[in-house]
Structure 1
Amino acid sequence: MIPLVESSGLPADVYSAKCPTRQVLDHIAGKWTVLIIDALRQDGTMRYTDLSRRIGGVSQKMLTQTLRSLEADGFLTRTVHPTIPPRVEYELTELGHSLAEPIAALRNWTEQHINEVERARARQDR
């Protein structure tokens, strides 16, 4: 049974441009989202600087924006500890953990099939 979107009462349909599932899919399919969720799944609670070091190539701006979006969507929590300087930690919520398994499967598939993809790209380039 297809769930209904609470805000509209209509069935969830990611193929419909007006359905909010489209926005969520766009957000969770982003490379920084995938890497952040997977890092938190593997390493547990992490500080901002640890995430920044773990995820090569992410800019401060993109990491901050993605973390804020993930928090707003309920995938992770941000905890500020009142120290000097403040210590900020990120942790997956139950919703975030439910997304982490399919993301881990996607990462595993990518790592297992990268050589096939690169060979196909090389053939295409010739």
Structure 2
Amino acid sequence: MGKECGKSKTVHAKKCAVTRALEVIGGKWRLPIIWELSAQESMRYNELRRHLDGITNIMLTRALQGLEKNGLVQRVELERIPPHVEYSLTESCKQLLPALEIINEWGKSRMLDAGCEETGSDKNLIHTDIK
């Protein structure tokens, strides 16, 4: 077996890779942000905010900062007139997309099982054109 995290041999310590991954991508908005960015090469802040129903400016800013800090999102300042910032997924984050597609399919089947129909707020979570 490979190198274990921590000194404890408890179940939690054995699953530390999963725990670490969830610390990086966990939270209400991080996965929806990644999912939205996966549909395009890059997005501007306000464009991204429009695609995420219910997110506040503060929450979007914090989530993007966390994703950038963990190397999942790249922030690029473009020197245009007017200047603006675009966000895109890093190569590291793109490795996560197949797992998100599986979660998406699982979520769609759960929605169908529950008799849910696709609504405006669900549409941004059910695209299938991942790059």
TM above 0.5: yes
Change (3 A) 1:85 1:34: same
| Aligned Cα root-mean-square deviation (Å) | 2.9
How high is the TM-score relative to the length of structure 2?
Answer: 0.71
Partner residue of 2:102 out of 97, 100, 105: 105
User: What are structure 2's unaligned runs of at least 5 residues?
Assistant: 117-131
User: What is the CA-CA distance between 1:30 and the residue it aligns to?
Assistant: 2.3
Structure having greater relative contact order (Cα 8 Å, sep ≥ 6)? 2
User: What are structure 1's unaligned runs of at least 5 residues?
Assistant: 120-126
Distance of 2:4 and 2:87 partners within structure 1? 30
How high is the TM-score relative to the length of structure 1?
Answer: 0.73
Higher helix proportion, which one?
A: 1
Identity %: 32
Count of residue pairs brought into register by the alignment: 114
1:67 partnered with 2:64: yes
Residue deviations 1:10-39 (CA, integer Å, cap 9, x gap): 7xx9823xx586354134132311111111
SS of alignment partner, residue 43 of structure 1:
coil
Question: Which letter does structure 2 place at the counterpart of 1:90?
Answer: Y
Question: Which letter does structure 2 place at the counterpart of 1:26?
Answer: E
